[in-house]
Amino acid sequence: MVIRRLAAYLKPHRKSLLIAFLLLLCGTMAEVWTPKLVQIFIDDYLTPGNFDSTDLTYLAVGFILLHIAAAGFNYFQLVMFNKIAQWIVQQLRIDVFGKVQHLGLEFFDRTPAGSLVSRITNDTEAVKELFVSVLSTFLQNTVFLVGVFAMMFYLDVKLASYCLLFMPVVLGIMWLYRHFSTKIYHISRQKLSQLNAKLNESISGMNIIQAFRQEQRLRKDFSETNQEHYMANVRNIRLNGLLLRPIMDMMYLLAIVLVLYFFGNLSQHSVVEVGVLYAFINYIERFFQPVIQMMLRLSQMQQALVSAERVFELLDDERMAPTQQGESSPEVRDGWIEFNNVSFSYDGETDVLKNISFTAKPGQTVALVGHTGSGKSSIINLLMRFYPNYRGEISIDGASLSAFTDEELRKKVGLVLQDPFLFVGDVKGNIRLANDEITEEQIYEAAQFVQADSFIQKLPKGYDEPVVERGATFSSGQRQLLSFARTIALNPKVLVLDEATASVDTETEEAIQEALEKMRKGRTTIAIAHRLSTIQDADLILVLHRGEIVERGTHQELLAMQGLYHKMFLLQLGGVAS
């Protein structure tokens, strides 16, 4: 199954494969023909003492030309097969990365990022080794072996048939080697990864190990695993010593004995052409190297198949991101948002949202407040259509949320995340993202609008300032302003804000608050607020507790209720006061 799917990846490269295969055939033919030339030289010229100089020049030139041809064909053939393997794996990699892009957040919630990264990069890399092995090592060496046998049969059918008797023995050794090496290779790799895991863990937890005085014990523990790894290595060395090169070298000598015996016997009652003997010895010499090469790849292949299986598993994952349902494709015109009796659960067991209903009229701001885990983020996640399986109805401008195209939704509903995520690249690219419709002018306008312009201008390279991993060179306030500019550049109808809890310096904080106020103007805004002071002018404040709306109203109304909101407000006042 896995093999068939992998083979399907070969299809688009039929032509290249054919060319590479032809190159391989030509190269192999040229290579296996050279001993034949020597044979002709020895039998037709050297032994009878015929030294016709033109003939000999032809032979010598032919010999050199064959070598050059063999070298040339082989070089291009090797490169070409390798290229094909690279292309195939690239396709596989692009496929799996592309697939991951369209998986839903529920998938990401449950899959550790590390293992996902490893699936896309390391496992596909292992598959590459598989293709390189199969295409380069196996195909080539098999063709070469066939070529060698063809020449031997051409020279002497009987002796070649005798030599063919070695094949089952060689195959038997290969089988034996594979049988044992798969296991040993697996153990050795397993021990090595255990060893590395232990080392890694010890380095991270060294202060605990030292505080609990367990250095001795863990040293012993480590050295035990180290010993096990060594033992696996020794078994591997032993196996390679018994069944790999040494045995193939012995087989080579035995084959030589066979050839010598055959010709020696023959010479007792008939004339033997020494050149044929020479050629046979030469072919035998070339026979065993390819076998060793193939054997060396066998155990790796097994491992690569496991990796391929994991990659396909990911390709088959069905937890896709929610997309448009139906054909209506409505537009977001005014930004009238309605939640009607919405309940939601991440795991299908415990509801994190229970019967949530509210309306945000065009241009209004609805603020969500509540303790950690109260369900604020879940409301935003649903509105952004990150999770499909909610109960109840969410609509924008009267149309069901699920009816919108992805493009319309992403363009008209702008999200500003709590942890502003910056991509590696430059400032400009982080505001525009990959949206070519946004002009340079609009980038500057957006930056000015959110007051990010002033700090960007001060950067050594301004808008072209490089952004490193996660935007580490920018302060958290600056990162927020950049992410505001990114949202504003799209000019969305609806704004979804996840206010940052991280504290920033007062100056930036002021800029952020001003920017937020400006951004909200003329847009329907759904905002998670941690600082109640920033949402006092909201048209509607929803106070959430354990997935339910426990209080709702304007700031003044809620204060008058003297309930949860009031307490939160007091708490924050205290926070400001201290």
Partner 1 sequence: MKIFLDLLWYFKHEKRAYSIGIATLLCVAVLEMIPPYVIGVIVDGIKDRTLTSDNLMKWAGAIVGVALVIYCLRYLWRIYLFGASSRLARLLRNRLYEHFTKMSPQFFHQRRTGDLMAHATNDISAIELTAGDGVLTLVDSISLGGIVILTMATTISWKLTLFALLPMPFMAWATSRYGNMLHERFHLAQEAFSTINDKVQENISGVRVVKAFGQEQAEKDDFKRLSDDVVDKNIRVARVDALFDPTILLVVGCSYLLSIGIGARYVVNGEISIGELTQFTILLGHLIWPMLAFGWLFNIVERGRASYDRVDALLNVKATVVNQAGATEAIPSGELRYEIQSFTYPEKETPVLRDLHIALQRGQTLGIVGKTGAGKTTLLKLLLREFDITDGDIKIGGTSIYDTTLSSLRSAVGYVPQDHFLFSATIAENIAFGNPSASQADVEAAAKLACIHDDILHFSEGYQTLVGERGVTLSGGQKQRISIARALLLNPEVLILDDSLSAVDAKTEQAILDALQANRQNKTTLISAHRLSAIEHAEQIIVLEDGSIVEQGRHDHLMEDNGWYATMYQRQQLESLVAEGGVADGDSQTRRVSQATS
Residues 428-447 close enough to bind partner 1 by CB under 8 A: 433-434
How many residues bind partner 1 (CB under 8 A)? The answer is 136
CB-based contact 159:152 (threshold 8 Å) = yes
> Residue 333 in 3-state DSSP?
coil
Which lies closer to partner 1 via its Cβ, residue 226 or residue 361?
226
Site membership for partner 1, residue 163 (CB under 8 A) = no
Site membership for partner 1, residue 272 (CB under 8 A) = yes
List the interface residues with partner 1, window 274-313 (CB under 8 A): 274, 277-278, 281-282, 285
Site membership for partner 1, residue 102 (CB under 8 A) = yes
Residue 492 CB, shortest distance to partner 1, in Å, is 10
Interface segment toward partner 1; rule CB under 8 A; list 108-116, 299-307, 345-353, 504-512 = 108-116
Interface segment toward partner 1; rule CB under 8 A; list 79-87, 305-313, 333-341, 509-517 = 79-87
Residue with tokens 């369900």: 375
Residue with tokens 């204060």: 559
Site membership for partner 1, residue 196 (CB under 8 A) = yes
List the interface residues with partner 1, window 380-399 (CB under 8 A): 384, 386
Q: Which of 3, 18, 22, 117 binds partner 1 (CB under 8 A)?
A: 117
Q: Are strands 548-553 and 540-545 parallel, antiparallel or unpaired?
A: antiparallel
d(CA 376, CA 371): 9
Tokens of 495: 């704004």
Q: Which of 203, 349, 460, 556 binds partner 1 (CB under 8 A)?
A: 203
Over the window 523 to 562, marking each residue x when it contacts partner 1 by CB under 8 A and - when it does not, the resulting string is ----------------------xx---x------------
Which amino acid would we find at residue 125?
E
Interface segment toward partner 1; rule CB under 8 A; list 331-339, 390-398, 410-418, 514-522 = 410-418
Altogether, the residues listed in the chain come to a count of 578
Residue 122 CB, shortest distance to partner 1, in Å, is 8
Alpha helices in 332-459 (DSSP H): 376-383, 406-412, 427-432, 440-449, 453-458
Residue 493 CB, shortest distance to partner 1, in Å, is 15
Which lies closer to partner 1 via its Cβ, residue 99 or residue 361?
99
Site membership for partner 1, residue 54 (CB under 8 A) = no
Rg, Å, the chain Cα set = 36
Which lies closer to partner 1 via its Cβ, residue 366 or residue 409?
409
Which lies closer to partner 1 via its Cβ, residue 283 or residue 463?
283
d(CA 540, CA 522): 16
Site membership for partner 1, residue 165 (CB under 8 A) = no
Residue 217 CB, shortest distance to partner 1, in Å, is 6
Cβ within 8 Å of residue 105, ≥6 positions away: 321, 381, 386, 387
Site membership for partner 1, residue 265 (CB under 8 A) = yes
Sequential DSSP letters for 293-318: HHHHHHHHHHHHHHHHHHHHHHHT--
* DSSP E strand stretches across 38-194: none
Can you give the three-state secondary structure of 507-518, one letter per residue?
HHHHHHHHHHHH
Which lies closer to partner 1 via its Cβ, residue 238 or residue 461?
238
Q: Which of 407, 440, 514, 557 binds partner 1 (CB under 8 A)?
A: 407
Interface segment toward partner 1; rule CB under 8 A; list 331-339, 347-355, 421-429, 528-536 = 421-429
Residue 224 CB, shortest distance to partner 1, in Å, is 10
Site membership for partner 1, residue 468 (CB under 8 A) = no
Site membership for partner 1, residue 515 (CB under 8 A) = no
* Alpha-carbon separation of residue 279 from 41, 62, 69, 78, 112 (angstroms): 11, 16, 20, 26, 60
Site membership for partner 1, residue 49 (CB under 8 A) = yes
* Alpha-carbon separation of residue 528 from 258, 259, 286, 558 (angstroms): 86, 86, 74, 17
Residue with tokens 């759904």: 526
Site membership for partner 1, residue 34 (CB under 8 A) = yes
d(CA 549, CA 370): 9
d(CA 197, CA 184): 20
d(CA 142, CA 132): 14
Tokens of 133: 């092995």
List the interface residues with partner 1, window 216-245 (CB under 8 A): 217-219, 222-223, 226-227, 229-230, 233-234, 237-238, 240-242, 245
Which lies closer to partner 1 via its Cβ, residue 121 or residue 439?
121
* Alpha-carbon separation of residue 425 from 465, 466, 470 (angstroms): 8, 6, 10
